[in-house]
Amino acid sequence: MLKLRDGTDKARDTIDAVMKKGQRACRLMIKRLHHRDPTLSNQLGLSSDSNTVH
């Protein structure tokens, strides 16, 4: 269980850091996530051409 929490914390820290960098960084991260794992991207409701959640 601790291992899962550590991974979750790392993911949250990464997302927080990207969000602090602004919209361009968010769009790039979403685009890369969509390219790397389209299924996860779709499950999260992310659009590869915007930084919004549907």
Nearest to 37, CA basis, from 26, 22, 23, 48: 48
The region of weakest confidence among 16-25, 33-42, 45-54 is 45-54
In the predicted model, is pLDDT for residue 51 greater than 70?
Answer: no
Range of the domain at 20: 2-43
The residue with greater pLDDT, 37 or 50, is: 37
| Among 13-17, 22-26, 43-47, the least confident range | 43-47
Q: How many domains does the chain have?
A: 1
Question: What pTM, to 2 d.p., does this model score?
Answer: 0.70
Does any domain span residue 49? no
Q: Per the domain annotation, does 50 fall within a domain?
A: no
Instruction: Give the position of tokens 């685009």.
Output: 31
- Any domain includes 25: yes
7 belongs to a structural domain? yes
Residue 35 forms part of a structural domain = yes
pLDDT above 60: residue 53: no
DSSP summary character for residue 1:
-
Res. 32: pLDDT tops 50: yes
In a domain, 8, yes or no: yes
